[in-house]
Chains A and B, each alone.
Chain A
Amino acid sequence: MAEGAKPHAPAIIPGLETFPRLLRHHARVRADRPAIREKEYGIWQTYTWGECYAQVRALACGLAEAGFRRGDRLAIVGDNRPRLYLAVAAAQCLGGIPVLLYQDAIAEEMAYVLQDAEVKMAVVEDQEQVDKLLEILDRLPSLERIFYDDPRGMRHYTLPVLQGLDELLEAGRIHDRNQPHFVDEEIEKGASDDVSVMLYTSGTTGKPKGVCQTHRAFLFAGMGGVQFDRLTDDEEVLSYLPMAWVGDHLFSYAQAYAAGFTINCPESSETVMTDLREIGPTYYFAPPRVFENLRTQVWIRMEDAGRLKQAMFRHFMKVAERCGVQILEGRPVPLLQRLHYALGEILVYGPLRNVLGLSRLRVAYTAGAAIGPDLFRFYRSIGINLKQLYGQTETCAYVCLQPDGEVKLDSVGKPAPGVEVKIADNGEIRVRGPMLLKAYYKRPQDTAEAFDEEGYFMTGDAGFFDEDGHLKIIDRAKDVGRLQDGSMFAPNYIENKLKFFPLIKEAVAFGHDRPYVTAFINIDLEAVGNWAERRGLAYSGYTDLAQQPAVYDLIQQCVEQINEDLSHDPQMSGSQIRRFLILHKELDADDEELTRTRKVRRRFISEKYAVLVEALYAGKDSQYIETAVKYEDGRTGKIAAEVRIRDAKVFPPSPRSHA
């Protein structure tokens, strides 16, 4: 059931096969157009393509003078800052490989990646990152120099490995003036098969692996996305997701270079929502979590609004639910409903989009995790063209995209232009195309094992094509297990259903080789806290709130609703959740319970909380547990609690009744 490659595979323009060449091209044809904006001192500052290219040249010269050579690795760590994006291009100019790291990783995690990638130099954002690198410096024999973007707090650092980016740029400018052909010659040496960037997998399974992507792969993915959604150089995007994440590299780098559009760096991670409103992006990418938070905020604010506004909001949300999606997709809608919706557009949807900062939006994407049907419908019904895509680090996040007008809630769309997708006999999704990784760094065996005999990359996800040729994802292929009675157990599927409730932040389902399914639940402190506040329910913190019987009642309703839903699905009716508990602490990446991209590490959790899992299956009503926690400053502490366990109602299997 392979889907063949579509005729419109993106074509890379001859002469512009690498990112530095594209940058040079933009600096010629749109020198005065904005390439990067950054909010500094409360004002948006603009860097044009011409300025960016000049800075990249200077950076490249500076790096070369410091001893950076072809094939060397340059680590880049920090929030989305213009000069860090430029450092990516500078390394590429010299034929070096930028290695992007997650800025919130602790020193220990960074040590692993830096050692693995044998990084020669690093460009980091600020003192915080410098401190982390210095902490592990003695274990990084290959690391020769560290350059920092923000000199704040760095005055008393006298180590010779450290240097400010300003000084590096200054030295580079002089070098560029004295040898004006140097950078151009270096750019000419670059080929499209060179590795353009190394991104590390999140390490949901084992240690992170360095994914080597070529210029060709990322340009192909970038061009493909640009053509697919007809993006122009007028687009504005907000670059606020970690630079080390493949999605950001695709949207803020590859596509920005492919189309020549503008990226905007927020002032700080706390101001993203304000910055979003100020920029009003035309093209936006966010994981479901962000869309979820946005909607939760709207709801919380609506609850505080006056009666008239509440009534208006409720009324028009119903109207939107009825016909909003059809109108967005240009399908026929009765005139009266259309007029009703138009009134809602003036009174509710338009202002709401404006408040969210999404007024100018043409296309929005979400990926990385499943998005709740309610959430997805909410955005589409108020006129936001939210779509899903599917991909992974190894495929430049470019495998499937939802075409305009063909958006389904539970699929991730059709194979992207130029990408071949097939389903293996075991249900695994396999893909082939120019966007595939060149190799895992220094791991020939892993690389070989990642491809099947026909050269398809094995994604490890289980899925199938529906009748319209849309790809549906069920779970990680290896996570799909069996209950003792042999029925299918797809933990992710169940967890996602749970997480679609705004009250539930994380969930972990158990059931493989067990008689029935059970679940750990993390409540959303903001949403449940707000709920508790409204009811005058006193609580002292997360642990206390989580163990309140009233909260258990609330969550039980959610669980039973899912059970009811599952009972209608013949394949899943055996997976109803019989027993659940609300965890006494929030799952946290610092405690290694989540990956940095906030995916639950199921095996780790089931080992760490083995007593709780056993208690769930032993039929106990509660279980005492002590858990070590790591605070942000690296200290450790302990949380102890008597965790309650509840039974949930299960429903007899019954086919879905169509209302």
Chain B
Amino acid sequence: MARVIGDVILDLQNISLSFGGVKALTNISFDVREGEIRAIIGPNGAGKSSMLNVINGVYHPQQGRIVFRGQERRRMNPHEAAAQGIARTFQNIALFKGMTVLDNIMTGRNLMMRRNFLWNALYWGPTRREEIAHRRRVEEIIDFLEIQNIRKTPVGRLPYGLQKRVELARALAAEPSLLLLDEPMAGMNVEEKQDMCRFILDVNEQLGTTIVLIEHDMGVVMDISDRVVVLDYGRKIGDGPPDEVRNDPVVIEAYLGGAAH
């Protein structure tokens, strides 16, 4: 494979997060390298989504350092994270149901629009050129994810699996360097999962996007990710390539144990 895994771009050091007396994350450290697919797995309530929310700037950990692209991050808001090239999808789809697929994806370009409200209202000259350029980029994403046929369909009318794909499209519209996917395959059938897997691999290989994903389907995780972090009750209990994690007795005991004996 010609994929290049580069240096560490995101380094999480000793992260602890609690809500009142509830400890969601305890002293977790791991890193993400440029160009890799990094999975976070763990049973329900293990703190996976909290971890994504920390990276994304939604939650602010009480302890620990986050270094993104060599810069230590202080308290950061989600929109600042987005401006730095971090985009995400959500466990429960967060699209504008009444808007078309195209318009939803266009919102992903929002941060890159230069013209202000007044210019947009006039829709003339440079504004128009800008809009056309953005639209072209969005069309490339539509082509990439093979959703041409639903371009003009309101999102609310689409089946779940396709909505997930639209959400991925919107995240890609922001041209992120780091993409966070929260259970991209939850609730999908086998065929939809296969499609989604292929799209995730394509995004990673062809756009060179670094991906951090949370997923419950172990087959999928082991197949597509380069390295896996295992969380259990807010603690890290395993970290490494899929094969290693799969054979780690602690992981088997804590997570896979119940199901796989």
Q: How far is the CA of A279 from the CA of B206 in the complex (A)?
A: 32
* Known contacts A41-B140, A41-B143: A274-B149 contact under CB 8 Å: yes
* Known contacts A632-B191, A633-B194: A155-B205 contact under CB 8 Å: yes
B 132-143 to A, binary, CB cutoff 8 A, 1 in contact else 0: 000110011011
Q: Contacting B148 at CB < 8 Å: which of A153, A155, A267, A632? A: A267
Q: How far is the CA of A21 from the CA of B32 in the complex (A)?
A: 59
In the complex, the answer to whether A155 meets B149 with C-beta atoms within 8 Å is: no
Q: Chain B's nearest CB lies how many Å from the CB of A205?
A: 33
Cβ of B135: which chain A residues have Cβ within 8 Å of it?
42
In the complex, the answer to whether B191 meets A271 with C-beta atoms within 8 Å is: no
In the complex, the answer to whether A153 meets B194 with C-beta atoms within 8 Å is: no
| Nearest residue, chain B, Cβ from A271 | B149
Cβ of B246: which chain A residues have Cβ within 8 Å of it?
none
Q: Chain B's nearest CB lies how many Å from the CB of A267?
A: 5
In the complex, the answer to whether B148 meets A268 with C-beta atoms within 8 Å is: yes
Q: Chain B's nearest CB lies how many Å from the CB of A164?
A: 14
A658 within 8 A of partner (CB): no
Cβ of B202: which chain A residues have Cβ within 8 Å of it?
152-153
Q: How far is the CA of A153 from the CA of B145 in the complex (A)?
A: 12
Q: How far is the CA of A393 from the CA of B82 in the complex (A)?
A: 58
In the complex, the answer to whether A270 meets B2 with C-beta atoms within 8 Å is: no
Q: How far is the CA of A40 from the CA of B2 in the complex (A)?
A: 29
Q: How far is the CA of A301 from the CA of B136 in the complex (A)?
A: 33
Interface residues of A in 419-436 (CB under 8 A from B): none
In the complex, the answer to whether A268 meets B149 with C-beta atoms within 8 Å is: yes
In the complex, the answer to whether A41 meets B205 with C-beta atoms within 8 Å is: no
Interface residues of B in 177-229 (CB under 8 A from A): 191, 194, 202, 205-206
In the complex, the answer to whether A155 meets B146 with C-beta atoms within 8 Å is: no
* Known contacts A42-B148, A270-B148, A271-B148: A156-B143 contact under CB 8 Å: no
B1 within 8 A of partner (CB): yes
Q: How far is the CA of A271 from the CA of B151 in the complex (A)?
A: 10
How many residues does chain B have at the interface if contact means C-beta atoms less than 8 Å apart?
A: 20
In the complex, the answer to whether B136 meets A41 with C-beta atoms within 8 Å is: yes
| Nearest residue, chain B, Cβ from A40 | B143
Q: How far is the CA of A270 from the CA of B146 in the complex (A)?
A: 10
Q: Contacting A156 at CB < 8 Å: which of B1, B152, B191? A: B1
Query: Would you call the interface of chain A mostly helix, strand, loop, or mixed?
Result: loop
25 contacts between A and B (CB under 8 A): A40-B143, A41-B140, A41-B142, A41-B143, A42-B139, A42-B142, A42-B148, A42-B151, A43-B139, A152-B206, A153-B205, A153-B206, A155-B2, A156-B3, A156-B205, A158-B2, A267-B148, A267-B149, A268-B146, A268-B148, A268-B149, A270-B149, A271-B149, A274-B152, A633-B194
Q: Chain A's nearest CB lies how many Å from the CB of B42?
A: 29
Q: Chain A's nearest CB lies how many Å from the CB of B87?
A: 21
Interface size class of A (residues with CB under 8 A): 10 to 19
| Nearest residue, chain B, Cβ from A635 | B190
Cβ of A43: which chain B residues have Cβ within 8 Å of it?
139
Q: How far is the CA of A152 from the CA of B146 in the complex (A)?
A: 12
B 74-106 to A, binary, CB cutoff 8 A, 1 in contact else 0: 000000000000000000000000000000000
| Nearest residue, chain B, Cβ from A39 | B148
Q: Chain B's nearest CB lies how many Å from the CB of A158?
A: 8
Q: How far is the CA of A152 from the CA of B144 in the complex (A)?
A: 9
Q: How far is the CA of A270 from the CA of B143 in the complex (A)?
A: 13
Cβ of A40: which chain B residues have Cβ within 8 Å of it?
143
Q: How far is the CA of A155 from the CA of B140 in the complex (A)?
A: 18
Cβ of B205: which chain A residues have Cβ within 8 Å of it?
153, 155-156
B 39-75 to A, binary, CB cutoff 8 A, 1 in contact else 0: 0000000000000000000000000000000000000
Cβ of A267: which chain B residues have Cβ within 8 Å of it?
148-149
Given contacts A43-B139, A155-B2, 8 further A-B contacts (CB under 8 A): A41-B136, A152-B202, A152-B206, A156-B1, A156-B2, A268-B148, A632-B191, A633-B191
Q: Chain A's nearest CB lies how many Å from the CB of B97?
A: 20
Q: How far is the CA of A633 from the CA of B191 in the complex (A)?
A: 8
| Nearest residue, chain A, Cβ from B146 | A268
User: Ordered nearest first, which 7 A-B pairs have the shortest CB separation?
Assistant: A270-B149, A41-B139, A42-B139, A271-B149, A267-B148, A268-B148, A271-B148
A 212-247 to B, binary, CB cutoff 8 A, 1 in contact else 0: 000000000000000000000000000000000000
Q: Chain B's nearest CB lies how many Å from the CB of A230?
A: 35
Cβ of A632: which chain B residues have Cβ within 8 Å of it?
191
Cβ of A274: which chain B residues have Cβ within 8 Å of it?
149, 152
Q: Chain A's nearest CB lies how many Å from the CB of B202?
A: 6
Q: How far is the CA of A335 from the CA of B239 in the complex (A)?
A: 85
Cβ of A153: which chain B residues have Cβ within 8 Å of it?
202, 205-206
Cβ of A155: which chain B residues have Cβ within 8 Å of it?
2, 205-206
B 1-33 to A, binary, CB cutoff 8 A, 1 in contact else 0: 111000000000000000000000000000000
Q: Chain B's nearest CB lies how many Å from the CB of A36?
A: 18
Q: Chain B CB within 10 Å — which of A41, A152, A153, A158 has the most?
A: A41
